[in-house]
Structure 1
Amino acid sequence: MDVAKAVTQMKISPARDAQLWLSAFEASPMRRVVLFLIGIRDLKQVNDLHGREAGNAVIAEIGRRIGLFAPSLAGAVVAARLPGREFLIVAESDARRAELEQVTRKLLASLGAPMTIQDGELHISARVGVAVSTPGQKGIDLLAAASSALASAYSRKGRKYQFGDSSSKSDPTKNASLDKGLRQALANDEIAIHFQPQFEVASGRLVGAEALARWAHPEFGEIGASELFAVADRCDLREELSFTIQRQALELAEKWPRGDVALRLSINLGAEELADDHAGKLLGLLKEIGFPREHLTVELTEESIVNDFDLALAQLQMLRSKNIRVAIDDFGTGYSSLSYLKSLPLDYLKIDKGMTADIAGSTRDRIVLRAIIALGKALGLQIIAEGVEKEGELEMLRDEGCDYFQGFLKSPPLTAAQFHEFAAQQK
């Protein structure tokens, strides 16, 4: 695939043109098509923070960048704006998977570059779902596969794109049902809180828990946090979902058993909270519920910092000034600058579970883990490892100086009632 710099701009077509093209398409061994479905994750955030005029300007700039990028794809035939916050590029191509990944990363880099809107600089977080046609596949089914891949990309940590699995059928009916039901689930308090216990590496002592969200859907069973937030992203309900989870977690944690050492609660903050006046809202919530601020940790991903560093910094400084601790979550999956670690008011660095599982493998994996722990320690941070499942992993973490861990080795996520009983039994 030719990925040379584009010198001409492809016209951005309306959704109906893309749908007409796809409705007439049927893949064959001689005609292979690749769809790049692009979603703008934080458009609602831009609208809420800067106004709808700024949101429209962002959409126009995204369209312009896609129009410039599309001609660099050999065989590009359609670039279209779809309803809501999605765009589509259609290319007739026989490129291999590695080439398509390279193109997707370049597309994301182009869309993620800072843009000047209303004399200010904005960073946009895009996601891409990629679908490659198989012989006999209809265009409408290919679009459904790309949509399913995009939904998965929204729920992924680190990598911002996902390829559709041609061997499995996407379920647009399920997605539509989940999208329709989430607002009602929030209104009816149907989102439950589970707690992932956290332990001290040296002693095995329970020190706290991370709050996790679960939705017991009447038709599809338990919906985990990743899929739940992917639904919220599609419906622009992420902020409402996050605040609901935080309120419930704080209310439950306020009733935890009181031991010799108070248990800490960890809750997650996303880009939307960090770019809004969420710090003030959270402090008000803490006062209302009566949960001690000094026993709360907020966890944020690297990506949530990058969107608007100055705003994120101000929010975190406000929280830290009130004795709330701050953790970088899933470290090792993102691509943000290490300079953020020294610039932000941090207390903890959480190692992603994917890296924890690798430490018992090659020597190189352990060297990487050792370097991350050493970096955190040099910056005065405490280290938390996620996803610890084997005794050998815990031994290595202990040898390397890790402070805390969570994972199935000691406990899976527990319901609120189970965690309360579990905590009461700890000495």
Structure 2
Amino acid sequence: MLPKYCLAALAVLFTQAWSLTCQASPLVVAGDEDYPLSIHTHAQYLRDGNNHYNLSDLEAMDQVFEPLPNDRAHFGYHSEGIWMRFQLKFEAPSSMSPAQENQISMVRKYLEVGYPILNVARLVYRDHEGNVQDLDLGFKHSFSQRPVSFRHPVFPISLPHGETTTFYLNVKLKGGSLKAPLRLWDYQSFHRHLAESDFYFGTFLSGLLFINFYSLFLFISLKERIYLTYTLFVLTSYLSAVSLSGHGFEFFWPSMPKLNDGILQFSFSLAMVCFIQFTREFLEVRTRFPKFDWLLKSMSIYWGLIALLAATTSIYFGRVVTASMLPSSLVYLLAGVLMLGVERRKAKFYLIAHSSALAGLLLYSLDQLKIIPSTLLTQEGVVLGLMVEVIVFSFALTDRINQEKAQKYYAMVAERDALVKVEETKQEMLYIGTHNDLTGFPNKVLFKEKVIQKLIENTPFTLCMLHLSEIKEVNKTLGHKNGDAIVELYAKDLNDYLESSSIQNTLELNEKGQFYAAQIDFSHFAFILSCSKEDIDSHGFKKQFSNIPSEVKYQNMNIDLQPFVGMACYPEHGEKYSELHKALNIAIEFAERASKNFAMYQPQIEANSERRLILTSELRRAINNDLLTLNYQPQLDLKSRRVVGVECLIRWIHPEYGFIPPDEFIPSAEKTGLITELTYWVLAQAYKTFISLKSSGILLNFSINISTRDLRDVQFCDKVAAIVPDEADRKQMILEITESSIMENVQESLQVLNNLVKLGFRLSIDDFGTGYSSLTYLKKLPVEELKIDRAFVTNFKENEDDKKIVKTIIEMSHSMDLYVVAEGVEDLETFDQLADLNCDLAQGYYMCRPVKADELRSSIIEAEKNVNESTNTQAG
């Protein structure tokens, strides 16, 4: 029997020993401690699965409490409530005298539960009078109920001197990783800690808000989606950080415990969605890695669903969120690694930023899973990593802006260099196009420009044109080389003579000298005199100009060139350049016919004046009665050798005068205003032919000339739209206008031309190269096609300068995406050289003469056949 009693006694002794072991000794709090004191290392815990224990139950179960599983008060993932038991005893410091000790009855301390997101943080104990103190500072209660305004639950407690007080703390977390580190503070150290916490939070808040507003400003300014996604990412990240740290409940939604209960998982999930979108924009994943982009989209949907469920249900996804963070972060890291092979600079920024966030997230996750010890670094890893990530990404976006600025700068420099080169080419081309290649004198283009400038000044002046009537005989006798030399000598003598005159007008001053005359062609010169018709009629003028050079001394020969001069005065003989130019030609023809050195234009010497009046009066009747006809000249594609379009050319067979050239009645139509009615008639006839060809399966472009008068007609756009009602058909109608016509009123012309393009018509510049401002305004014109003036094409196979001009025009037009049509192609050699220069279309007698509508089908076939046979013959 003795052994049984012995065993029983041993069991009782073991039970008492275990009870004494579980009931740890109280923590002695002295007045001279270094605060804060870690309380949880002296605590025991008890699981309360049903959350039904009260103070009496707990006091009766002291022997059931167990030591904490670790020294961090970290209990891992579970939804059970935990009761922590600890004892505190205040003793006066040894330095205090007995009298001072007797004066101390109670000491006030602060008990901090160092985890901000507890749903339940309830402290229960009996005070020195035996009264039960019960206070819950968890999330389910309003923040205003907290006795101390701090992000962590803080309980003010009073400790009696020399007595031991037992405290019971109930903590619970809704589905998260539960921990409850306890610290004890005195008054001074706690408020110092409170001030430091507010300072750090204020710094954190200010930094993130600054970054957020800066990125929002960038989005508003630049309208780029990347800055919007970054702004939303920073905002949701900030919301996650303040939710996790407890600052959100403290400062932003203190009266909304229900919101506080679910906002952490919602904001964190939403932050992941925003970061995914930012990653897609920042790394340009959609265009560079389309397959990988599908993975990011799927992840975005996954996190979006978690955010939606968190916002609309009471389900807690803490374990799911924690488990999903690490693989998601690794996917983001992979995106950065992929980017290294495409754009290293951007990839480095991304990897550095995300690696810092990943490191913080990894530390926090491992801490939550109780894999590593819990420290300030692991507890605040998410916030610290986020701060570094946001700062690095801010630098990355700033660098992106700088890179874009640099790219724009280099692009601008390249564009400037290209423009300088284009401008130099344009100036060279302009010089070639406005100067005679033999003498270097201004040519007819520059002369016309100067005359128009004089017309704008609206002061009287006189135009003179000089014809060297004997230069052809000189060429026949001495040859073209000597003829060229003689013309050069005469040009210099004429310029010197005009320079000595008191009424000359400078046409141009450049590095080659000052020029008073222009060379219109090989045998014609023109100049401007600053005098009126009355001055010319005076005796002094006739005496002064009686000495105009007529002979040239060349190789010991005095060669008489017999110059004749025609004159026309502004405004007596015309108010437009065309009128004055015509008057000049009439005057010089009269001078040669009458063998007079000088001849002033007079109406009575105009042989065709009566005929012109008759034709002007009969033109309207011809339009109204369809007495005009329309011919069509094919335009052939130089690459395909196929006819792709026609130009519409008006013809007038008068019953009395027979064939009337367009050059004779078109100017009269312009002057009287009949030109617009004529344009409508041409367009209507052309459209009829177009429809006829279209119905038989032939689809061609139809080019129709329009004039300055047409552009001034306020109803012009409406009327041409009514004539060609089908917008698809309008795209086959090409309206041609000369550049000089546009220049008469640039702004008004541009507006009408833009309206025509909107209606569906296409535009072409006719006779390009003869206008004085074409290069300046060409970019502004909504044209698709450019027709080189026949003056440059007809002889360009023999004239290198004309060939250079044609080549430059073609290259410049193609650089501006314009088609080029060459007029005046008269032979196979010209045709082939234009093809070598990459000209697009050719038009001229070599392919086909203008034909009537009923002959057009057969002429197209014949033109294509002739060209192809000639090409094959040449190749053979």
Q: Do Structure 1 and Structure 2 share a fold, with TM-score over 0.5?
A: yes
Question: Partner of 1:317 in structure 2?
Answer: 754
| 386-395 or 217-226: bigger deviation | 217-226
Distance 1:335 1:257, change over 3 A: same
Residue 239 of structure 1 is aligned with which of 659, 665, 676? 676
Question: Partner of 2:852 in structure 1?
Answer: 415
Residue 733 of structure 2 is aligned with which of 265, 273, 296? 296
Shift of 1:310: 1.3
3-state SS in 2 of match to 1:338: helix
The AA in structure 1 aligned to 2:655 is P
Maintained 8 Å contact 1:213/1:224:
no
The separation in 1 between residues aligned to 2:662 and 2:825, in whole angstroms, is: 19
- Please list the CA deviations of residues 245-276 of structure 1 after superposition, one character each: whole Å capped at 9, or x if unmatched: 22222222221145766211111111111222
The separation in 2 between residues aligned to 1:101 and 1:348, in whole angstroms, is: 40
Residue 629 of structure 2 is aligned with which of 186, 189, 192? 192
Q: How does 1:126-275 map to 2 (within 5 A)?
A: 127-128=579-580, 129-130=583-584, 131=587, 134=591, 143-144=602-603, 148=606, 170-258=607-695, 262-275=699-712
Q: Which runs of 5+ in 2 are unaligned?
A: 1-453, 464-501, 504-528, 551-562, 866-876
| RMSD of equivalent CA atoms | 3.8
Question: Partner of 2:722 in structure 1?
Answer: 284
The separation in 1 between residues aligned to 2:735 and 2:455, in whole angstroms, is: 32
Maintained 8 Å contact 2:693/2:699:
no
3-state SS in 1 of match to 2:692: coil
3-state SS in 2 of match to 1:266: strand
3-state SS in 1 of match to 2:724: helix
The separation in 1 between residues aligned to 2:696 and 2:646, in whole angstroms, is: 14
Shift of 1:395: 0.7
Question: Partner of 2:788 in structure 1?
Answer: 351
1:308 aligns with 2:745: yes
The separation in 2 between residues aligned to 1:195 and 1:211, in whole angstroms, is: 5
Shift of 1:423: 4.4
The AA in structure 2 aligned to 1:377 is H
1:402 aligns with 2:839: yes
Aligned length: 320
Structure number having the greater helix percentage: 2
The AA in structure 2 aligned to 1:295 is Q
Maintained 8 Å contact 1:192/1:215:
yes
3-state SS in 2 of match to 1:254: helix
Distance 1:306 1:262, change over 3 A: same
Residue 65 of structure 1 is aligned with which of 451, 458, 469? 458
The AA in structure 2 aligned to 1:143 is Q
Distance 1:385 1:74, change over 3 A: closer
The AA in structure 1 aligned to 2:859 is F
Question: Partner of 2:195 in structure 1?
Answer: none
The separation in 1 between residues aligned to 2:775 and 2:531, in whole angstroms, is: 38
Compute the TM-score of the two structures, normalised by the length of structure 1.
Answer: 0.65
Moved over 6 A (4+): 61-64, 68-71, 97-104, 424-427
Residue 819 of structure 2 is aligned with which of 360, 363, 382? 382
The AA in structure 2 aligned to 1:415 is K
The separation in 1 between residues aligned to 2:456 and 2:740, in whole angstroms, is: 23
The AA in structure 2 aligned to 1:78 is E
Shift of 1:389: 0.8
- Please list the CA deviations of residues 17-74 of structure 1 after superposition, one character each: whole Å capped at 9, or x if unmatched: xxxxxxxxxxxxxxxxxxxxxxxxxxxxxxxxxxxxxxxxxxxx97992447899558
The separation in 2 between residues aligned to 1:369 and 1:63, in whole angstroms, is: 31
- Please list the CA deviations of residues 187-215 of structure 1 after superposition, one character each: whole Å capped at 9, or x if unmatched: 21111111111110112201011111111
Compute the TM-score of the two structures, normalised by the length of structure 2.
Answer: 0.33
The separation in 2 between residues aligned to 1:211 and 1:258, in whole angstroms, is: 19
3-state SS in 1 of match to 2:602: helix
The separation in 2 between residues aligned to 1:171 and 1:353, in whole angstroms, is: 27
3-state SS in 2 of match to 1:389: coil
Shift of 1:339: 2.1
Shift of 1:298: 0.7
Shift of 1:171: 2.6
Residue 810 of structure 2 is aligned with which of 363, 373, 376? 373
Shift of 1:136: 8.9
The separation in 2 between residues aligned to 1:242 and 1:305, in whole angstroms, is: 17
| 403-412 or 318-327: bigger deviation | 318-327
The separation in 2 between residues aligned to 1:332 and 1:145, in whole angstroms, is: 35
Q: Which runs of 5+ in 1 are unaligned?
A: 1-60, 80-88, 113-123, 149-169
The separation in 2 between residues aligned to 1:318 and 1:329, in whole angstroms, is: 19
The separation in 2 between residues aligned to 1:290 and 1:238, in whole angstroms, is: 25
Asked which structure has the greater CA Rg, the reply is 2
Maintained 8 Å contact 1:196/1:209:
yes
Distance 1:363 1:326, change over 3 A: same
Distance 1:334 1:64, change over 3 A: closer
The separation in 2 between residues aligned to 1:291 and 1:195, in whole angstroms, is: 21
Maintained 8 Å contact 1:250/1:291:
no
Shift of 1:179: 2.0
Residue 799 of structure 2 is aligned with which of 351, 362, 367? 362
Shift of 1:406: 0.7
Distance 1:320 1:64, change over 3 A: closer
- Please list the CA deviations of residues 348-393 of structure 1 after superposition, one character each: whole Å capped at 9, or x if unmatched: 1101111111221132221121111111111110110011011000
Shift of 1:424: 7.1
The separation in 1 between residues aligned to 2:565 and 2:675, in whole angstroms, is: 28
Shift of 1:107: 6.5
The separation in 1 between residues aligned to 2:860 and 2:633, in whole angstroms, is: 12
3-state SS in 2 of match to 1:299: strand
3-state SS in 1 of match to 2:656: coil
Residue 770 of structure 2 is aligned with which of 316, 333, 355? 333
Maintained 8 Å contact 1:257/1:423:
no
The separation in 2 between residues aligned to 1:344 and 1:297, in whole angstroms, is: 14
The separation in 1 between residues aligned to 2:671 and 2:808, in whole angstroms, is: 37
Maintained 8 Å contact 2:634/2:647:
yes
The separation in 2 between residues aligned to 1:415 and 1:64, in whole angstroms, is: 46
3-state SS in 1 of match to 2:794: helix
